[in-house]
Structure 1
């Protein structure tokens, strides 16, 4: 069913706080179970429902039981957009993600009819379910199964989407890589012409695959793997600072120490840290999983800025409240559009360790959206 909307094109009047929500967290249990009603709309200007995907070149639900009402499904698409309307944030649909790969998007964007069909399907999808726009999370053009032509076709796809969206006032955001070799994938200077937000996936610079401990998402570093380097690279290549969103993670990257007595930065690593109870991914712990476990020895530094912790042979690098407030101040200093947090369900959203949403609250304090 199609719905009509008044024009509500995004006009930046405050720093954005874009919150990603992994809709699969509705299948979790105990303190990690996250439903639509767990979203705190006062802490997010936009919330991205992840993920929809591609089938035969058009947008589709990747989890019909969770997303749709048909066949006795949960109907979370409409629950989400209805909740957004009464809780003061813009509901966006995330399309893509790492598991979707790049090949399908490369094929769809490779010819004009494919781009048109996709854009038309997106508009129909947004109208049917009541979303206010999308975050296009194609990971990544020219990589992960993509083609060399993706760099040009990506711009053509954004142009097509922008033209289709203009009649409805839909928000068009894109999530983009933070690698120093981003010029292989993106015509940076032209992206800003067609989108409202460019969300930098400026985290996970270091993981256990480095085989030594390091700060996962440093604000500054002596090499090209830092938030500051990414921001400077994008702006130097022509991206408008006022459309750039700094991405931060509400989870930590974990390592298995080779020697539990050697637990500082640069310590030898034998593999990924132990998987968390709820996220169940080696090398990663949500902040909720981390804070609700005990006996971590925490190391925090203000200069340079980082936090890590260790317990036996387990080691984690994460952004705590102080780091996130400092990153928010960086956003203000650089005149960026705001911050994206990935993701809501990884924060301590229920206040199991202390107050609810400590990381997201720190971001809002740092941006001046709420008082310190």
Structure 2
């Protein structure tokens, strides 16, 4: 009986061994015949968008899982050059710039690839030289895609909204890291970025709304003014911006004179708080209230709102061009005659137009509610030939605006009369093609 049991036990062991060997062989055959496609799982969404860092910081790619685990070959590349074979990767650039990060995972001859970009704001940068300022002034809705950095010398970004309490809302610039990207791309291109601060309410022209006193209320009060200066200083430092533009537009109220007078002490206090090399500018009106402005010679320069004359709106107003060359000249001459030399003044050009939606029997504007404004790029969408004109009838009852030809004439006036430069409001209303108003201004004044 013992011999029988031994034989049975031997046979069982052999059967198990043969069975195990078959399974291993089958697994190999299946793997060879049906190779597993390598996959990359971006657990922390490291590849969902560009990372924006400052020079000296590190972009980390730690949330990556790979299949088949432990079998696939890993290759991390920076601008096409392999730099690591580990599953995790930390990129610590030695300079500013834009870098392409690519992860390639290979197995059995097949590959999967993920790529993204890392934008590095340089710690030191040199501003490109210029003869005249050609500045794009962006609204809080703008992104870096709204700027061609080859066509500008400066960027102003209206990202600080001032409340009557002296608080500063900069939240629009945090969405999608818009502020950080604009600063990083500008500095890589050698272009300074100026933080625009204004009241919370403004129209498409970025200017005054009736009976608003947000900004004025804050800077008329010494304690609130000090609070606001501290907040502005902190934001400029945190975002590595190069200065501030004071766009105090509370001039359509009973407090307008006091609001305007308060710009003086605010400018003085802000200038003392920011670094000595900081650019500090003021954007001002050219209407009858120009008399109210204090001495602004301490500013690096002053931006003149030399567009939108406001005489072609309202009931029975005659339709027409509200941002003519003549209006620019008139406003500029007020300031050169009574305030500052042309070398301290930067003149504004609009990237929007006045549209009439209803006219009365005389062919004039019907009422206060019968007109509005269109961005330049919306005008071109309605009429692709509009770039070469000042009027189009392809929207509403017609739109008056500054086209390429008129902006070129304005640029010639700026260049030939000793002004410091010009700016376009707003850069995100403009196009980024050959019909760009910023491009026309840049070419016209250089």
TM above 0.5: yes
Q: Establish whether residue 286 from structure 1 lines up as the match of residue 364 from structure 2.
A: no
Which of 247, 264, 274 matches 1:155?
A: 264
**Unaligned runs of at least 5 residues, structure 2:** 1-53, 56-121, 203-208
- Under a length normalisation based on structure 2, what TM-score does the superposition of the two structures give? 0.63
Partner in structure 1 of residue 438 of structure 2 = 360
Alpha carbons of structure 1 residues 248 and 38: separation in structure 2 relative to 1, 3 Å: closer
The yes-or-no answer on 1:19 pairing with 2:136 is yes
**Aligned residue pairs, count:** 316
Q: Is residue 59 from structure 1 mapped to residue 168 from structure 2 by the alignment? A: yes
SS at match of 1:178: coil
Q: Residues 238 and 7 of structure 1: is their aligned pair in 2 closer, same or farther, counting only changes over 3 Å?
A: farther
User: 1:145: Cα distance to partner?
Assistant: 5.9
Give the TM-score taking structure 1 as reference length.
Answer: 0.75
Structure exhibiting the larger radius of gyration computed from Cα positions: 2
Q: 1:199 aligns with which of 303, 311, 319?
A: 303
* 3-state SS of paired residue (2:201): helix
Match of 2:329 among 212, 220, 228: 228
With over 3 angstroms needed to count, the CA separation of the structure-2 counterparts of 1:164 and 1:256, relative to structure 1, is same
C-alpha RMSD over aligned residues: 3.3
User: Distance between the aligned counterparts of 2:395 and 2:166, measured in 1?
Assistant: 49
Change in CA separation of 1:105 and 1:269 when aligned onto 2, cut-off 3 Å = closer
SS in 2 for 1:99: coil
CA contact (8 A) 2:162 2:169 kept: yes
3-state SS in 1 of match to 2:271: helix
SS at match of 1:314: coil
Question: What is the match of residue 318 of structure 2?
Answer: 212
Is the contact between residue 21 and residue 48 of structure 1 (CA under 8 Å) also seen in structure 2? Answer: yes
In 2, distance between residues paired with 1:313 and 1:322? Answer: 23
Q: Is 2:327 aligned against 1:244?
A: no
In structure 2, the CA distance between the partners of 1:323 and 1:20, relative to structure 1 (3 Å rule), is: same
Cα distance, 1:342 vs structure 2: 0.7
Contact 2:139 2:428 in 1 (8 A): yes
Aligned pairs (5 A) from 1:71-82: 73-82=175-184
Q: The residue matched to 2:269 in structure 1 has which SS?
A: helix
C-alpha separation between the residues in 2 aligned to 1:299 and 1:89?
29
Equivalent of 2:393 in 298, 301, 310: 310
Distance in 2 (alpha carbons) for counterparts of 1:365 and 1:231: 21
Q: Deviations over 1:70-125 (max 9, x none)?
A: xxx42222122112111221111110057166523223222444333322221111
